[in-house]
Amino acid sequence: MELPPELRVALDEELQGLPAKKLAAVAADLSQRYRGGAPVSGGKFVQSPADATAYAAFRLPATFGAIFSAFERVRERLPEWEPRSLADVGAGPGTASWAACTVWPDLQSITFFERDQGMIALGQRLAAHAEMPALAAATWRNVELAGAWESAPHDLVVAAYLLGELPETTLQGFIQRLWAMTGGVLVLIEPGTPSGFARIRGAREHLLAGGAHVIAPCPHNAPCPMAADNWCHFSQRVARSRLHRQIKGGELSYEDEKFSYVALSRMQAAPVRGRIIRHPHIQKGHADLEICTPEGLTKISVTRRDKARFRLARDLRWGDVLPEDSD
Ligand SMILES: C[S@@+](CC[C@H](N)C(=O)[O-])C[C@H]1O[C@@H](n2cnc3c(N)ncnc32)[C@H](O)[C@@H]1O
């Protein structure tokens, strides 16, 4: 997965001339803060314009990939639905909005909610490169999300890689507020770690109790069947630029971003039979799949002798829904 060309150009321009070593040092510091978990009250992960730039250099490509992938799953499940307005909450440099504009190019208005001035300024400079009028003319709201704030309803509401930065005691109220402003679909995305998934699972439970329907990834509205020592997550491969490789100190030309997500709505999508929740193991003689279904988690093994089913199974990817005509 590559970034949209205008975003690539905008980022390159932003990073041009910055000493890679200095950027790498800021990125390492920021990454250390993120690994340390939620900051103590009032503390912030992103603390300066230099942090915002480092975030864009070392995290944005991966979070873009994850968000894009989650949005694609929503589009698959609601092919007729075309959001017009988007609220990008905890927007950072606007990553989720760039992904939304790629998936739903007919978006007409975007509102960003963000507290960090450095992120806002960076997001505005990046958005100035966008061909999409909704991005270029977006509204930026400088808001402390853990405090009191209000919003008009939006068709699509997204909070990507945000929940882990909010005080845990405020999370339920915050999720409820996001839901109240959701006209169509609410998408929550977190790192694909046990704690990221725990936040997604908590939000899912809370909103299902209030009458929401899951659009993706779960093929049901039942309690999550994942065992306590396991976590539901997906993976998106993203390309790494040369600078990115330098900053991350890696040689690979790609990285696999692991993420957990849930998309909820007051609308219902057509039922599906199941979703692949692990990388399928394709062996010589059989394909092994782990699937979440409305009846719970299940594993199936399809032997090569069962030609038609094997062909189907072989083409399935982690995160896909089971085809309608599969048995
Ligand atoms: C990890 S970044 C995610 C940015 C973007 N959504 C993405 O996925 O790339 C989290 C963003 O949320 C913002 N944020 C965190 N806590 C916030 C709060 N209490 N109020 C407003 N913004 C907040 C941070 O400033 C940061 O820009």
Whole-model pTM over 0.85: yes
- Could you identify the residue written with the tokens 């909005």? 97
Alpha carbon nearest to ligand 1 atom 4, residue? 92
Query: For atom 26 of ligand 1, which residue has the closest CA?
Result: 92
- List, in order of start, the domains of the chain with CATH numbers: 5-265 (3.40.50.150), 275-314 (no CATH)
| Contacts of 292 by beta carbon, 8 Å cutoff, 6+ apart | 217, 218, 219, 220, 225, 226, 232, 274, 275, 277
pLDDT tens readout for residues 35-81: 776 665 556 888 888 889 989 988 999 999 999 999 999 999 999 99
CB of 76 closer than 8 Å to CB of 275:
no
Q: How do residues 199-234 score in pLDDT, each as one tens digit? A: 999 999 999 999 999 999 999 999 999 998 899 999
Q: Which ligand 1 atom lies nearest to the CA of residue 116?
A: 25
Range list of β-strands (E), the chain: 85-89, 109-114, 139-142, 154-160, 182-191, 213-216, 234-239, 254-265, 275-276, 281-282, 286-293, 296-303
* Kind and range of the H or E run holding 49: helix 49-58
Report the pLDDT value the prediction gives residue 326, as an integer from 0 to 100: 66
- Is the CB of 70 within 6 Å of ligand 1? no
Q: Which range, of 29-38, 101-110, 296-305, 312-321, averages the lowest pLDDT?
A: 29-38
Q: Compute the mean pLDDT over every residue in the chain, rounded to the nearest whole number.
A: 92
Which of 145-154, 157-166, 251-260 shows the lowest mean pLDDT across its residues? Answer: 251-260
Token pair listed for 221: 């509205």
Instruction: Name the residue at shortest CA distance from atom 12 of ligand 1.
Output: 90
Number of residues in the chain: 327
Write out the two tokens for 295.
């009846």
The pLDDT value given to residue 151: 96
Asked whether residue 327 carries a pLDDT value surpassing 80, the answer given is no
The whole-number average pLDDT for the span 225-244 is 89
SS3 145: coil
216 lines ligand 1 (CB under 6 A): no
Q: How far apart are CA 229 and CA 182, in angstroms?
A: 32
Predicted confidence band at 247 (pLDDT cuts at 50, 70, 90)? low
Asked whether the predicted pLDDT for residue 124 surpasses 80, the reply is yes
